[in-house]
């Protein structure tokens, strides 16, 4: 089991989508005084993950200035229209080329507004304690992002195609996953209604 312990974990933040259902870049939506993308980066920094590879695509020219000054490597995915798999591929490939000592990658998105550094730290702890090659969040009967992958899974991530993300890997390898409860992970932002619900004060 020890072969799957991650010693140096990077973060890959997927932020290349066009937010077509929302009609404007979700990465720049404001919540709790900061943009969603900066909120995600802050959570990564709270978990002391480095390097941070941020994958942009659609609207890169308007999103990149928002994260200038952050200690992140910004890469632009020219094939972002294919879907999320292309961003995972370019993120993992960049990690292997530029940061070969990293033996793990935490893959996350920027539209889960309730993400915190503590959730990410719990994923890291869960992976180390279990010795399994994957640690993922669980919410609403789903196993999903953020997900921590040991480098032994990188070849499978690089083979992903289309707009399905790593879901098929998680289904196929369900016995290789340790999970961390993240009930608020079910709340992501795809539409204006989602964003309005996020901004409503609790009753």
d(CA 107, CA 136): 10
pTM value is 0.95
Q: Which residue has the tokens 């999903």?
A: 144
Q: How confident is the model at residue 202, as a pLDDT? A: 55
Domain layout of the chain by residue ranges = 8-199
Q: Stretch 56-75: mean pLDDT, rounded?
A: 94
Q: Stretch 59-78: mean pLDDT, rounded?
A: 94
Contact 109, 41 (CB under 8 A): no
Domain 8-199 fold: Spore Coat Polysaccharide Biosynthesis Protein SpsA; Chain A (3.90.550)
Tens digit of pLDDT for each residue in 100-148?
999 999 999 999 999 999 999 999 999 999 999 999 999 999 999 999 9
Please spell the DSSP secondary structure of the chain, one letter per residue.
Answer: -GGG--SSEEEEEEE----TTTTS-GGG-EETTEEHHHHHHHHHHHTT---EEEEEBTBHHHHGGGGTTSS-EEEE-TTGGG-HHHHHHHHHHHHHHH-TT--EEEEEES--TT--HHHHHHHHHHHHHH--SEEEEEETTEEEEEEEEEGGGHHHHHT--TT-TTHHHHHHTGGGEEEEE-GGGG----SHHHHHHHHSPP-
Tens digit of pLDDT for each residue in 156-182?
999 999 888 899 999 999 999 999 999
């Amino acid at each position: 089991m020890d072969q799957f312990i991650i010693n140096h974990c990077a973060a890959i933040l997927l932020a290349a989508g066009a937010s077509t259902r929302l009609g404007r870049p979700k990465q720049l939506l404001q919540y709790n005084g900061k943009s969603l993308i900066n909120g995600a980066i802050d959570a990564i920094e709270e978990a002391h993950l480095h390097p941070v590879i941020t994958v942009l695509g659609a609207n890169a020219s308007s999103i990149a200035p928002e994260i200038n000054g952050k200690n992140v490597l910004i890469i632009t995915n020219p094939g972002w229209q294919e879907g999320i798999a292309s961003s995972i591929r370019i993120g993992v490939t960049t990690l292997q080329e530029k940061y070969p000592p990293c033996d793990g990658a935490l893959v996350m998105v920027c539209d889960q507004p309730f993400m915190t550094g503590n959730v990410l730290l719990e994923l890291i702890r869960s992976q180390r304690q279990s010795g399994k090659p994957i640690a993922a969040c669980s919410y609403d009967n789903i196993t999903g992002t953020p997900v921590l992958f040991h480098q032994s899974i990188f070849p499978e991530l690089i083979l992903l195609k289309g707009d399905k993300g790593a879901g098929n890997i998680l289904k196929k390898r369900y016995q290789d996953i340790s999970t961390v409860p993240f009930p608020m992970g079910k709340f992501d932002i795809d539409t204006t209604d989602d964003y309005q619900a996020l901004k409503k004060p609790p009753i």
